[in-house]
Amino acid sequence: MFEFQHTIKEPVEVTGVSLHTGEKTTLQFKPAPANHGIRFQRMDLPGEPVVHALVENVLDTQRGTTIGENGAVIHTVEHVLSTLTGLGIDNVLIQISGSEPPIFDGSAKTYAEAVKRAGIEQLSAKRDVFIPEAPVFFRSNGSSLVILPGDQFEISCTISFPNQLLDSQFLNIKIGPDTFEKEIAPARTFCFYEEVKPLLDSGLIKGGSLECAIVVKGDEILSKEALRFRDEFVRHKILDILGDVTLLGRPVRGHIMAVRPGHGTNTGFTKKLRDIVLKKRGAKKYSAEGASYEQMDIVELLNTLPHRYPFIMVDRILRLEATHCVGLKNVTINEPFFQGHFPGHPVMPGVLQLEAMAQVAGILMLKAGDNAGKIAYFMSADKVKFRKPVQPGDQLIIEVELTKSRGNRLAKAQCRILVDNEIASEAELMFSILDKDKGA
């Protein structure tokens, strides 16, 4: 398994018809910096909203995995995500012209070919790998998944359909770029003949045909071409597992064993792994619009930042992700700077608003990779604007979005402070991460 994070070298584009919506859709994969993660961006919607590929954003698992965030929805993401994980891609922006990626021939083969054309580039930041310390089990509706500790990424899968003439199938495979490209990516999706009409009645598979799926009818295989593997069905189930486990937001090292998996079980299993990750990092969770995010209280902030009274400019972290952080600061008349700024007309100095942005940006960097115990140094500020005064009684919502990163040492972030949902100040900040004994 790769030690360092990877992205693609060049943008690459694919176009095709989506399975369930029947829409013609274009996907463009774009390189992304370290710790960016995998994100979709709906280019057809106002504001071009972004959807992070995280399990807390799962909305539905009926005949595919659907994710949504910021008012945007992306259907059937598993083949795209499986490709990225299978080929070792950690960071990429996927700009999409509709609500569902193309189905192509029902496999991930076209996506894998596109990523290979774009090229794969190693970044300087190390991967934050999930390694289970003990077996983790998940069972639901006759399906089960378990992950065992191991020194590589391996999947064993068993499928069976008691009411069908399709034989039970089993496959064990070690996941890596070569094995994924040759052994998993070409495996096509499948369904049973009896399922076709109910799916059509539900408004699904509008773009479906025998060119993009295998249909099993009794002991017959209906397809435009012969099976690519004798056990193509279980291989496709492993492809789906890979895609759904990608929603953990980090690579996995261990042995996953699955029995009769489906998207609901896969994502339920991934949610359980996500809870373990959050607990291990000592982070709390809160819910908003049906999603869970990491959170830090003042004790955790003091354990992360070197600042102390009277220079702590953030009281709580409301949301912490790989490249996005939201902090909160309650401004009171007891702030020491109000004694001189200004008597009779207290206003929070703009330079301290910049400091608040920089501290939240520092949290974002210090919680990434192997930066624990280091110090974030504020280097420069650009495009600084102060739009309204900040006064006692105001509550600051400090938003930071990582826009560029060079390893774990240097980064640029777009920051803004909101008061009552209006922008009070904004800036583009540059900061660096240094060991404590090297700081100036």
Give the whole-angstrom CA distance, residue 209 versus residue 222.
Answer: 10
Q: Omega before 310 cis (within 30°)?
A: yes
What region does 244 belong to: left with phi over 0, alpha with psi -120 to 50, or beta? alpha
Phi, psi values for residue 42, rounded to 5°: -80, 100
Q: Could you identify the residue written with the tokens 């060119």? A: 211
CA-angle at 42, arms to 38 and 45, nearest 5°: 155
Give the whole-angstrom CA distance, residue 43 versus residue 17.
Answer: 17
Active site residue 341: yes
Which of 36, 263, 307, 345 is an active site residue?
263
Q: Please return the burial class of 231, using the count of CB atoms within 10 Å of its CB with bins 0-12, 13-18 and 19+.
A: middle
**Would the CA dihedral through 423, 424, 425, 431 be positive or negative?**
negative
Residue 156: CB atoms within 10 Å: 17
Amino acid at 120: I
Picking from 319, 325, 329, 327, the residue whose alpha carbon sits closest to that of residue 288 is 319
Active site residue 75: no
Active-site positions read 263, 341
